[in-house]
Amino acid sequence: MLCYIHIQTQQSFNTKNTNMGEIWGVIGSKLASILFMWAMVQRYCPHQIHALIEKFSQKLANFFYPYVEVKFFEYIGDYYRTNEAFTFIEYYLQSKPTNQAKKLRGESLRKSLVLKMDESQEFHDEFEGINVVWSLRKIVPNTKSVSFYPADEKRYYLLTFHRGNRDLVSETYLNHVLEQGKDIGLSKRQRKLYTNCTSGDSDMRGKWSHVIFDHPSSFETIAMDGKKKKEIVDDLVTFSKGKDYYARIGKPWKRGYLLYGPPGTGKSSLVAAIANFLKYDIYDIELTNVKTNAELRKLLIGITSKSVVVIEDIDCSVDLTGQRKTDSENGNEKDEGNDENEKDDKSKVVAASMIQLKAEANRNKTSQVTLSGLLNFIDGIWSASTGERLIIFTTNYVEKLDKALIRRGRMDMHIELSYCCFDGFKMLAMNYMSVETHPLFDTVRGLLEETNITPADVAENLMPKVANEDVETSLERLIRALRSSMEEAKKKAEKTEESTGGLEDNKTLLQEEIDNGKS
């Protein structure tokens, strides 16, 4: 058939009076005839004939294009989980000379400029005598909605090589690329701070967006008791080297930390110091932006290994208290006091009104995350999807949290961050004034033992207020702040004592009146 078309076309070309319109008309009619005949073959020929034709067409395609293509997408699965192979390939290609590509992307990495391959650019790599080609591609979804999150665009690395090198590429070369990329990434990777997306688009729910994490906090600069600091560091080191141990005891490779204490005691700084010490990424979850337990689970699936999962001020994020007892009919919260039978109709009406108000409040809640959903997030079956993960809760009021949420096994280590001690002060003095000792240190020590002040307040007083401020001026300002805090504490205690004394006097008078009445 192809020969027939070729002959007819040649004859048409050789005709003296032929013009371009007639040539295209001949080609079009012949192609239409082929398509018609192919449709008839597909409709009426047996399945065996179809298989033979497909096999022949495949051989013909392989003859003209003897190459194999492999795609490595940036995100995999319905939950858009990060594909570590994509990341390792990116690090590997960054380590190679970039003189082949004409279009590059420049990014800042640890105060140095890094050039990356741009879309549709090719990189030729050689390995044990074979040549392969890498290129970065992108699939843009056909949608009119506007969004700024990377999960909308499906980026992938395309590897192209000759089919004769399939075994060497799949068994040796790719392992070489992934191992090299992993080693490079561990030493040079730019760590990230993730947060859950808050887009109104429902498709973006349960996905992560990120910025570069470049927080300077470290255990060398954080103001904390030296003994407690060493305890935390030792625990982190043990955890980071515990892969085989956790596998042997049959537990997921994760650990929970509960940081609690008054505001300004350095809970967020400690989180940053932990991430910097372990060289982990941070996933900061805003629970008020999580609609359902299913969305929370979707976020969990998207968290990679070597990560610190943080929920700050968990006592203020969503209402996780009092959810254990619910009304069996409508699932609304129910107080323990409602278990008792009401004694009169008036109290029953009041109780019914309270239940109705609580039901309305529940319907209007932004987040429907429950205590059960959060517990499953911490140590349920889904929590074992990725290893080497720290989960950290911070709170100012630990007594408000449900006991099941902070029990050992979920929050393995409870770390109280209290008011500034003298060791913490010395660390802050070194950080802010670069001094290890001063005659006024003894005065500061005595005042710190008698009053409560947060490390944040100490740091604010030590920070120079004018250029070239001397050390003595900063320390005197701190001493005045400590004495002022001590006086306020004494006045508050006196008012409390007076109030308590007044109550006792009223109680005595009331008792005397009762006794006189009885007499």
- The confidence score (pLDDT) of residue 3 equals 43
- The confidence score (pLDDT) of residue 321 equals 52
Q: In sequence order, what are the residues at sequence separation of 6 or more whose Cβ sits closer than 8 angstroms to the Cβ of residue 236? A: 274, 277, 278
Point out the least confidently predicted range of 64-73, 367-376, 501-510. 501-510
- pLDDT for residue 339 is more than 50: no
Point out the least confidently predicted range of 5-9, 257-261, 408-412, 466-470. 5-9
- The confidence score (pLDDT) of residue 255 equals 93
Model confidence band, residue 298 (pLDDT cutoffs 50, 70, 90): confident
- The confidence score (pLDDT) of residue 61 equals 63
Query: Coil, strand, or helix at residue 325?
Result: coil
Point out the least confidently predicted range of 163-177, 296-310, 327-341, 490-504. 327-341
- The confidence score (pLDDT) of residue 82 equals 78
Model confidence band, residue 187 (pLDDT cutoffs 50, 70, 90): confident
- The confidence score (pLDDT) of residue 340 equals 44
Using CA atoms, how far apart are residues 343 and 269, in angstroms rounded to an integer? 54
- Structure tokens, 63: 């003859």
| Higher pLDDT pick, 76 / 413 | 413
**DSSP letters spanning 198-258:** --SSGGGTT-EEEEE------TTTS---HHHHHHHHHHHHHHHT-HHHHHHHT--SEEEEE
Q: Please state, rounded to an integer, the average pLDDT across all residues of the chain.
A: 77
Question: Where would I find the beta strands (DSSP E) of 376-427?
Answer: 389-395, 413-416
- The confidence score (pLDDT) of residue 160 equals 92
Strands 122-127 and 112-117: unpaired
Using CA atoms, how far apart are residues 180 and 172, in angstroms rounded to an integer? 12
- Structure tokens, 421: 């001690």
Using CA atoms, how far apart are residues 199 and 511, in angstroms rounded to an integer? 63
- pLDDT for residue 13 is more than 70: no
Decide if 442 contacts 452 (C-beta within 8 A): no
Determine what percent of the chain is predicted with pLDDT higher than 70.
Answer: 68
- pLDDT for residue 172 is more than 90: yes
| Higher pLDDT pick, 367 / 290 | 290
Model confidence band, residue 113 (pLDDT cutoffs 50, 70, 90): low
18 vs 14, 25, 27, 281, CA distance in Å? 8, 11, 13, 70
Decide if 329 contacts 252 (C-beta within 8 A): no
- The confidence score (pLDDT) of residue 366 equals 61
User: What mean pLDDT is predicted for residues 295-316?
Assistant: 88
Burial degree of 68 (CB within 10 A; 0-12, 13-18, 19+)? middle
Using CA atoms, how far apart are residues 357 and 396, in angstroms rounded to an integer? 28
Point out the least confidently predicted range of 94-108, 216-230, 386-400, 500-514. 500-514
- The confidence score (pLDDT) of residue 148 equals 42
Residue type, 58: Q
- The confidence score (pLDDT) of residue 489 equals 83
Please, what's the b/e burial string for 453-470 (b: 16 or more CB within 10 A of its CB; e: otherwise)?
bbbbbbbebbeeeeeeee
Determine what percent of the chain is predicted with pLDDT higher than 90.
Answer: 27
- The confidence score (pLDDT) of residue 343 equals 44
- Residue whose entry in the numeric block shows the structure tokens 């042997």: 248
